[in-house]
Amino acid sequence: MQNTSYLPTNDRAIRAALKAELQEIIDKEGSACPYIKIIDELGVAHGDARIDVAFVNGIIHGYELKSDVDSLDRLPWQVEIYGKVFEQITLIVGKKHLQRAIEIIPEWWGIKVAKFLSPDSERVLFYEIREARENSCQDDLSIAGLLWREEALSILEDLEEAEGVRSKTRNEIYKRLVAVLDPSDLRTRVRKQLCVRKGWRSDLRYSLSDG
C-alpha cells in the first residue's frame, strides 16, 4: 500500500520556497545593504560547476539543492569545488538523502531538510538540522574566478594595475588581481560585481578560448 503521508520533493518546489525565503530577507534588509542579490545557477570554476542558488548579502552564501528525486553522486566533487569559493554553504535535501548527505558534507556546511507541507500541498517547508558556519578554506584565485575576464580587467584598470596583463589569459588576470588586492578587498569587489552584473545568460563568456 502506497504511503500517502510522504510526497517526494523536487527541485522546482524547493527552489521556489528558498527564493521566496531569501526574497523576504531582501525586502527587510535591502535598503540597508545596496549589494544584495539572489543568483540562480552561479557558475564556479569557469562554469565547470554551477551552484543552484547563491545569495549575496555581505557574504556569498551558496545553496545546493538535492531533492528526493535527485542523486548525491556529484556531491563529493561539489563539496571540493564549492569549498574554494563560498563563505558559507547550505545543503537542502529531501528526507530520503538526509543521512547519506550528512556523511558526505563537511561540518561547516549547513543542512536543511525540505518537505511538502502535506501530500496535497505544493508548499515546501525547511527544517534546519545544522546552521552553516564560516568557511576557513577559501581560495583567493577561485574567488577571483567568479568574475568575467573583462570584469577582472576593469578592476585592475581602476587600480592602475593592468599594465602587462591586458592581452593575457583570464587566469593571468586573476593572478594579478589576487596579487594586488588583500583577501577582504577582493571578496568585497567580487560581491559588488556579482550584484551589478548585467547579461547573466551570456554563458559563452566562459567558453572563450582565452585560457
Structural domains in the chain, CATH included, are 11-130 (3.40.1350), 140-199 (no CATH)
Give 109-123 as a DSSP string: SEEEEEEESSTT---
Q: Is the pLDDT of residue 128 over 80?
A: yes
Average pLDDT along the chain = 91
pLDDT tens, position by position, 97-127: 999 999 999 999 999 999 998 877 888 999 9
For the cut 60, the answer to whether the pLDDT of residue 4 exceeds it is no
pLDDT (average), residues 37-55: 93
Q: What is the pTM of this model?
A: 0.90
Say how far apart CA 199 and CA 208 lie, in whole Å. Answer: 16
Give, as one character, the DSSP assignment of residue 175: H
Q: What is the largest CA-CA distance in the chain?
A: 71
What is the rounded average pLDDT of the residues 140-161?
97
Judge whether residue 1 has pLDDT over 50. Answer: no
Please report the pLDDT score of residue 201 as a whole number. 58
